[in-house]
Amino acid sequence: MCGIVGYLGRERAAPVLLGGLQKLEYRGYDSAGIALMHDGALTLIRRRGRVSELQFAEGFLGNAGIGHTRWATHGAPCERNAHPQRFGKVCLVHNGIIENAARLKEQCLARGETFSSETDSEVVAHLIDGEYAKDGDLLKAVRRAARRLTGSYALAVLAEGTEEIVCARMRSPLVVAVGQEGVFAASDMTAVAAAGRTAYVLEDGDFARMTCGKAELFDASLVPVARAPVPLAAERSSDGKGAYPHFMRKEIAEVPQAVRATLKGARIGGLLAQNKVLCQTKYLHIVACGTAYHSGLCMKAACERIARIPVQVFLASEYRYAEPIVPADTLTVAVSQSGETADTLAAAELAKEKGSFVLGVVNAPHSSLARLADAVLQTRAGTEIAVAATKSFNAQLAALYALAARLAKLRGKGTYPLGAFPALCKETLSACENVAAWVPRFAAARCVFFLGRGADRYAALEGSLKLKEVSYLPGEGYAAGELKHGTLALVDERTPVVAVICDEALADKTMNAVHEVYARGAPVFLVTPFRELCRAREVTASVVIPHCMPVFAPMLSVIPLQLLAYHTALAVGADPDKPRNLAKSVTVE
Ligand code: M6R
């Protein structure tokens, strides 16, 4: 979603800001802009489209500036709605949503002020400008304006007449970093990570004032505060795509190492430290969105089977409105790659309010979720650049299966070693070479079904989401036995069906669904460890994956589905790394 950068220092600001914005491109956006302060005057450059459209401004003068990538919420993606937004002497970039913007705007209009955009953010510029006019103190002006805002915001603000950048944070991430070259602000560590710099993560209600060589932090009352410094290393993910044409393909190849690193982290302390809580746990609630929600469903299948603990999985966006019943001794697991998903954060907060211990399963170690959770089980997938979650999904499964195995062990329900999974993932990747050849049937499809039973169904759901988001083909993940209760009406020869069958006990049942779709002309593609099933006349093509315990099989069966989505995206001419309309990190509700 939207991204913020700010810089003030010895270097020219424009190239620093553009470099930072490029690092934020992966989050998804539809317009971008920068503002530069030079000799007390502000220059704004904004464009619809990519950050590269701003490249012409690289040589512009000014040692302070702010920049933004915008993912449209209020108002269309166009130049006048792009950030920075300016009013009077004030210019700002904003992430988040101002919920009372309409009412505040009416007040501004009543004072005779005019608006040049449809954004909620411009309203904030109006408020700060009004306050700044009173005493010329930008920090105090931002604070006074912030008190009138409801909603979420990360702000970086410049004003004519000052040599400083003021930042504010409320429910939208923001860090400031200090290095030899100057001070930086960003909504995402990725944009400021470099060896030798130290970052400070702002907390909700915090303000920061960046002046030459210095970043001062203040709490909501403007009392100076110290926040724990986070030393930054050079961002390894920005190494680029390596030998791969796309990040998505590279990240699928990185699945084995993401799983290995996550399992190792879970062994060394991650879970052992939580023995007391785990021994007391009677119920498990999982809150998550999208792909992370699917990893939660896979965990339900595994944990209920091996640890015999009841698991409820909630879409985080529904959790608050479901008035969830949270019995004593419920462990709430909030799963998120970014750790910044607004709905997941809100659900985790509510679970805490209801007295539940919250375990964050999170990939970004300094994220809001990592700080909100009572404990963290880190997934160690490394930075994931492609919008489509792939290696982070497998890493989430690794962490969650390790949790299920630990719960089973503590309950005397046996031991479930997971150490073979990195090698099995590697073997699965090698078995997937023919998946690219399936693609012509998918690229020409009207609709695609992914079928499975039990844990296989959850892998099917994730396979379907992947295909939809990167190739724009409509489709559904479906319970194999449910198809004939209505949805079978959609199936014909232009409806490829992917069946996932990894549980021998359920294989015949899912094969019944295969017979049914085949009889309606659908081409059938099979993902299974059972070679004999692939010989059935109904099967158009198949991938034979390694055997493992069926409840853990999504870890392997999802890999050919991720690759299928990737290759189909290429075949339909879509960019698999940047699906239209989507953002990597969904920081608004
Ligand atoms: O960062 P999170 O894991 O909390 O993100 C949740 C979803 O937005 C995310 O999993 C999304 O569904 C995937 N990027 C889709 O591939």
What count of residues does the chain have? 589
Distance of CA 89 to the CA centre of its chain: 35
Residue 204 lies in a domain: yes
Is 370 found in the same domain as 334?
A: yes
Residue 239 predicted with pLDDT over 70? no
Phi and psi angles of residue 290, each rounded to the nearest 5 degrees, phi first? 55, -130
Atom of ligand 1 nearest to the CA of 389: 16
Provide the pLDDT for residue 75. 81
pLDDT, average across residues 435-459 = 95
CA gap 71, 109 in Å, rounded = 26
387 lines ligand 1 (CB under 6 A): yes
pLDDT of residue 238: 47
Q: Is residue 585 part of a domain?
A: no
CA of 275 to the centre of ligand 1 (A): 29
Q: How far is the CA of 310 from the centre of ligand 1 (A)?
A: 25
Catalytic residues: 2, 584
Same domain, 445 and 571: yes
Answer whether residue 450 is part of any domain: yes
Q: Is the CB of 390 under 6 A from ligand 1?
A: no
Please classify residue 134 by burial: count the beta carbons closer than 10 Å to its beta carbon, then call 0-12 exposed, 13-18 middle and 19+ buried. Answer: exposed
- Whether 332 and 446 map to the same domain: the answer is no
Q: Is the pLDDT of residue 269 over 70?
A: no
Instruction: Please check whether residue 360 lies inside any domain of the structure.
Output: yes
Distance 362 CA to ligand 1 centre (A): 11
Is the CB–ligand 1 distance for residue 389 below 6 Å? yes
Q: Which domain range does residue 323 map to? A: 243-419
Please report whether residue 588 resides in a domain. no
* Model pTM above 0.85: yes
Percent of the chain with pLDDT over 90: 84
**pLDDT value at residue 47:** 94
Question: Which atom of ligand 1 is closest in space to residue 393's alpha carbon?
Answer: 10
- Is 121 in the same domain as 226? yes
Number of domains in the chain: 3
Mean of pLDDT values over 424-445: 95
- For ligand 1, whether the C-beta of 562 sits within 6 Å is no
Domain identity same for 40 and 166 = yes
Residue with the smallest CA separation from ligand 1 atom 16 is 388
Residues 69 and 196 in one domain: yes
Q: How far apart are CA 69 and CA 232, in angstroms?
A: 23
Does residue 311 lie within any of the structural domains? yes
* Alpha carbon of 196 to ligand 1 centroid (Å): 31
Same domain assignment for residues 148 and 23: yes
Q: Which of 419, 441, 465 is the last residue of a domain?
A: 419
Contact of 14 with 185, CB cutoff 8 Å: no
- What is the mean pLDDT of the segment spanning 270-282? 84
CATH assignment of the domain containing 9: 3.60.20.10
pLDDT of residue 232 exceeding 90, the answer is no
**Ligand 1 centre distance from Cα of residue 389 (Å):** 6
29-76 pLDDT, tens digit each: 889 999 999 999 999 999 998 899 999 999 999 999 999 999 887 788
Mutate to test the pocket of ligand 1, among 293, 337, 343, 471 (most ligand atoms within 8 A of CB): 337
Q: Tens of pLDDT along 316-363?
A: 999 989 899 999 999 999 999 999 999 999 999 999 999 999 999 999
Element containing residue 317 per DSSP (H, E)? helix 316-319
Domain boundary among 419, 442, 471: 419
CATH label of the domain that carries residue 384: 3.40.50.10490
Shared domain for 194 and 127, answered yes or no, is yes
Neighbours of 294 (CB within 10 A): 29
- Tell me, yes or no, whether 583 lies in a domain: no
Nearest CA to ligand 1 atom 15: 388
- Residue 99 shares a structural domain with residue 226: yes
383 lines ligand 1 (CB under 6 A): no
Of ligand 1's atoms, which has the minimum distance to the CA of residue 584?
14
Q: How far is the CA of 326 from the centre of ligand 1 (A)?
A: 25
Same domain for 221 and 144: yes
Q: What pLDDT is attached to residue 83?
A: 95
Does residue 372 share a domain with residue 316?
yes
In a domain, 582, yes or no: no
Q: Where a domain ends, among 419, 439, 464?
A: 419
How are strands ordered across the β-sheet holding 475-479? 475-479, 448-452, 497-500, 524-528, 539-544
pLDDT band at 584 (very low <50, low <70, confident <90, very high): confident
Structure confidence by residue, pLDDT tens digits, 515-529: 999 999 999 999 999
Q: Tell whether 219 and 248 lie within a shared domain.
A: no
Mutate to test the pocket of ligand 1, among 294, 336, 558, 587 (most ligand atoms within 8 A of CB): 336
Condensed to tens digits (0 to 9), the pLDDT of residues 364-414 reads 988 999 999 999 999 999 989 999 999 999 999 999 999 999 999 999 999
Shortest-distance atom of ligand 1 to CA 466 = 16
CA distance 155 to 6: 10
- DSSP state for residue 98 in the 8-state scheme: B
